[in-house]
Each structure stands twice: as structure tokens, then as C-alpha cells.
């Protein structure tokens, strides 16, 4: 191997390792109610995933919710929708004991742990990413609500309804944004 190529490659490997350890050190502690991207070194939403226009639900992690929390609701909001911020996906009645959301949830209304999900049209599963009005990606905010009970919503509830109901009952709120 040419020595001139070896040094830049070595520097790149060291830089990637340092970024990973910095990201890991910036994560909140597990006993703090906060939301962050999941995966290795918090890389659940890398620039590559954002560039792919988020075609699958993300991997997210969070810390312990406050005392009295029975369930959680997670809402994804398109901050740059034409009519203003628009919820486009939600998962609710997540058991309070859970600390993560696996990536690529199946497109079903009811998940095995009893949680439910909806998109902007009231259908089940991840909406195919925020609406795109041009070459730029929209910013997305993920909002996690700690709730004192389960949400009782109709079968055809959409993400906006979940967001409204959760915000009215929230004990605590955590959020994380892509593109801010």
C-alpha cells in the first residue's frame, strides 16, 4: 500500500471514532426523560438516512419517563409542511417500560406490545417521509409524550389526532429534531 494513501485513511478512521465517542458522551443519561437517535453512537438518523428521505420508521431511544407514567406517545412532525407544522406519523400506548423504538416498524395498526400507529391519512404504519416541495428535505421533529394513562382513540385516528390528545394529557415532553 502506498504510504501517502495510508495516512489520510488512518486520519479518517480516527476522526470517525472520535465523532462516535463524542456523540455517545452527548447522549443524556438513561434516567433523564430525553429523546435521541438510536443505533451505534446515536447514528440511527445519519445524513445518509435523511438523504434517503426517511422511507422507514426510525430507531429512537429515550430515558426513563417521570413517575406516574403509564404509556408513551411518539409523534413525528414535518416542520416545513406547506400549511405549517404537520404531524405525519405517530405511535401511541407504548408501554412506559420501553426505552427504544426499533427501526422499520411493520405497516400495521397494532404492534405486538399493544402500541398502535397511524400516519397523516389515518392509515397504519410509517408515512413515506415528510412531503417534499422541492429539492430540499424538510426538517422533522420527533416528540415523545409521557402520559398518565393510555390514549383511547378511534380506529381511524390520524397522527394529528394523536398529537392533540397526547399534548393535552402529557406529564412530560421530550423531543429531537432532524435538520435543525
Helices (H), 31-92: 47-51
Q: Any idea where the domains of the chain sit in the sequence?
A: 28-178
Backbone angles phi, psi at 94, to 5 degrees: -70, 130
CA 146 to chain centre: 15
Q: Which residues contact 65 (CB under 8 A, 6 or more apart)?
A: 33, 72, 96, 146, 171, 172
pTM of the model: 0.77
Per-residue pLDDT of the chain (180 residues; tens, 9 = 90+): 454 544 444 434 444 443 343 344 445 556 789 998 876 545 445 443 443 455 678 888 999 999 999 999 999 998 888 888 889 899 999 999 999 998 888 888 999 999 999 988 777 777 655 555 554 567 889 999 999 999 999 988 999 999 999 999 999 999 988 776
Contacts of 92 (CB under 8 A, 6+ apart): 71, 72, 73, 74, 115, 116, 117, 150, 151, 153, 162, 166
In CATH, 28-178 is 3.30.565.10: no
Report the SS3 class of residue 167: helix
96 in Cβ contact with 171 (< 8 Å): no
Amino acid at each position: 500500500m502506498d504510504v501517502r494513501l495510508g495516512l489520510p485513511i488512518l486520519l479518517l478512521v480516527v476522526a470517525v471514532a472520535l465523532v462516535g465517542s463524542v456523540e455517545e458522551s452527548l447522549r443524556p443519561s438513561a434516567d433523564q426523560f430525553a429523546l435521541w437517535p438510536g443505533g451505534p453512537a446515536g447514528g440511527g438518523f445519519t445524513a445518509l438516512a435523511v438523504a434517503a428521505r426517511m422511507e422507514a420508521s426510525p430507531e429512537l431511544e429515550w430515558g426513563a419517563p417521570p413517575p406516574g407514567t403509564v404509556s408513551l406517545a411518539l409523534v413525528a412532525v414535518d416542520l416545513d409542511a406547506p400549511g405549517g407544522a404537520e404531524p405525519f406519523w405517530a405511535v401511541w400506548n407504548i408501554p412506559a417500560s420501553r426505552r427504544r423504538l426499533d427501526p422499520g416498524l411493520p405497516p400495521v395498526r397494532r404492534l405486538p406490545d399493544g402500541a398502535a400507529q397511524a400516519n397523516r391519512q389515518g392509515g397504519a404504519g410509517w408515512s413515506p417521509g415528510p412531503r417534499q416541495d422541492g429539492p430540499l428535505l424538510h426538517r422533522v421533529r420527533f416528540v415523545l409524550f409521557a402520559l398518565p394513562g393510555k390514549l383511547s382513540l378511534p380506529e381511524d385516528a390520524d397522527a394529528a389526532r394523536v398529537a392533540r390528545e397526547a399534548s393535552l394529557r402529557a406529564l412530560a415532553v421530550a423531543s429531537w429534531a432532524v435538520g435543525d
